[in-house]
Chain A
Amino acid sequence: GAGVSQTPSNKVTEKGKYVELRCDPISGHTALYWYRQSLGQGPEFLIYFQGTGAADDSGLPNDRFFAVRPEGSVSTLKIQRTERGDSAVYLCASSFGGVEAGELFFGEGSRLTVL
Chain B
Amino acid sequence: AQTVTQSQPEMSVQEAETVTLSCTYDTSESDYYLFWYKQPPSRQMILVIRQEAYKQQNATENRFSVNFQKAAKSFSLKISDSQLGDAAMYFCAYRRSLNNNDMRFGAGTRLTVKP
Contact = CB atoms under 8 A, between A and B. Distances in A.
In this complex, the interface size class of chain A, counting residues with CB under 8 Å from chain B, is 20 to 34
Contact of A55 (B33, B46, B91, B100): B100
Interface stretch (A18-26, A60-68, A73-81, A98-106): A98-106
B42 A103 contact: no
B43 A43 contact: no
Interface string B1-14: 00010100000000
B91 A109 contact: no
Contacts of B96: 101
Contacts of B4: 42
Interface size class of B (residues with CB under 8 A): 20 to 34
B68 to A, nearest CB: 16
A14 interface: no
B44 A101 contact: no
Contacts of B101: 48, 56, 101
Contacts of A43: 45, 91, 105
A115 B62 CA distance: 44
B47 interface: yes
A98 B99 CA distance: 8
A112 interface: no
A86 to B, nearest CB: 17
- The 8 A-B residue pairs with the shortest CB-CB distance, nearest first, are A42-B105, A106-B45, A45-B102, A109-B43, A108-B44, A101-B97, A42-B107, A43-B105
Interface of A: 31, 33, 35, 40-45, 48, 50, 55-56, 59, 89, 91, 93, 95, 97-104, 106-109, 111
